[in-house]
């Protein structure tokens, strides 16, 4: 509305003007005084300077993401995109991507009593430090009512509800161990490690092992003489022999390490003094 006012409108004020009347006239002329400066402010957030980034991060409320991203430019660019989808599964996937992890699935609880609990199934093996940072990002990304209770990787055994007795509680739980976070909450971690079962060596060696086990036994059976028996009882004899043999061998051949060198003499083009390079030869 200030453009409808005359720049010389203060001349129309009476001599007995009040402070309110004078302030209203000056307020109408602010656009004329600050118009050039206001025009320069347009678009300054699109390509901000480095000195302005901390203030923009504070203005947008992205200070909690600074420990998880490399620089302030990434905090401002990815943080604004994360803030628009905050409270959804996509925000949780985006936040875990900052740590180098990808989510296989986000599973919500089917229980009516614990409807707010959910589990995260990962594609990579996390460490305890990674799990600590995941729980912090989960509190920022997930809805306020939700709670992360379990993290799995390639090992997921579900609970079996047997009964309400104490024995039933042995199997009425998910796989994994309970880890206490820094904030005092408990988080169950269920992971699986795989190790290679094939090895290759640069050399060969030989070794042998032979194991034998022999056993022999005999069994005699006879009837006990009765009171009215006068003849000798018939004796039954049974014999058996068992033999076990196992032999294993391995071969390793290691080459002899050798290194060859030679004497070499060279001279500089600018001087006439020779330079001798000494090389050594070693066999073992």
**Calpha distance 213→199 (Å, rounded):** 31
Structure tokens at 3: 């453009």
pLDDT at residue number 95: 92
Q: How far apart are alpha carbons 73 and 76 in whole angstroms? A: 5
Kindly give the residue spans of alpha helices, DSSP state H, lying in the chain. 19-28, 30-40, 53-60, 72-84, 89-98, 128-141
- Of the candidate ranges 31-40, 115-124, 133-142, the one whose mean pLDDT is the lowest: 31-40
Q: Are 233 and 222 in contact (CB under 8 A)?
A: yes
Per residue in 154-194, pLDDT (tens digit) is: 888 777 666 655 555 556 677 788 888 888 888 888 887 76
What are the strands, taking DSSP E only, across the chain? 103-108, 117-122, 147-153, 177-180, 186-191, 207-222, 235-250, 258-259, 264-267, 274-277, 282-283
Tokens of 200: 């290759």
The whole-angstrom separation of Cα 118 and Cα 107 is: 5
First to last CA, the chain: 97
Q: Note whether 189 and 177 are within 8 A (CB).
A: yes
pLDDT-based confidence at 57, cuts 50/70/90? Answer: very high
The angle that helices 30-40 and 19-28 make with each other, rounded to 10 degrees, is: 40
Which of these, 150, 94, 142, 104, lies nearest to 124 by C-alpha position?
104
Q: What is the pLDDT of residue 159?
A: 73
Residue 142 has pLDDT above 70, yes or no: yes
Facing residues of 189 across strands? 151, 177
Phi, psi for 117 (deg, rounded to 5): -85, 150
pLDDT digits (tens, 9 = 90+) for 255-274: 555 544 444 444 445 445 44
Domain boundaries, the chain: 2-40, 45-84, 89-191
Helix (H) or strand (E) holding 206: none
Give pTM, 2 decimals. 0.52
- Spatial contact of 133 and 122, defined as CB atoms under 8 Å apart: no
């Amino acid at each position: 509305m200030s453009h409808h006012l005359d720049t010389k409108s203060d001349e129309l004020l009476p001599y007995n003007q009040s402070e309110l009347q004078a302030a209203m006239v000056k307020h109408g002329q602010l656009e004329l005084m600050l118009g050039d400066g206001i025009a320069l402010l347009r678009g300054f957030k699109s390509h901000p300077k480095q000195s302005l980034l901390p203030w923009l991060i504070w203005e947008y409320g992205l200070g909690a993401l600074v420990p998880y991203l490399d620089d302030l430019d990434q905090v401002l660019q990815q943080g604004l995109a994360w803030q628009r989808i905050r409270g959804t599964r996509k925000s949780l996937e985006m936040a875990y991507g900052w740590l180098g992890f990808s989510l296989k699935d986000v599973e919500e609880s089917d229980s009516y009593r614990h409807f707010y609990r959910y589990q995260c199934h990962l594609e990579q093996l996390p460490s305890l430090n990674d799990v600590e940072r995941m729980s912090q990002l989960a509190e920022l990304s997930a809805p306020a009512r939700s709670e992360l209770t379990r993290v799995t990787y390639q090992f997921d055994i579900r609970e079996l509800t047997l009964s309400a007795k104490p024995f039933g509680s042995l199997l009425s739980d998910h796989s994994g161990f309970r880890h206490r976070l820094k904030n005092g909450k408990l988080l169950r971690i269920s992971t699986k490690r795989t190790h290679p079962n094939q090895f290759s060596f640069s050399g060969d060696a030989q070794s042998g092992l032979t194991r034998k086990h022999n056993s022999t036994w005999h069994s005699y059976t006879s009837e006990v003489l009765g009171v009215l028996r006068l003849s000798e009882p018939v004796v039954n004899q049974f014999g058996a022999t068992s033999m076990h043999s196992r032999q294993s061998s391995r071969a390793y051949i290691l080459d002899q390490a050798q290194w060859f060198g030679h004497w070499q003499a060279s001279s500089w083009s600018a001087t006439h003094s020779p330079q001798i390079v000494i090389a050594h030869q070693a066999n073992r």
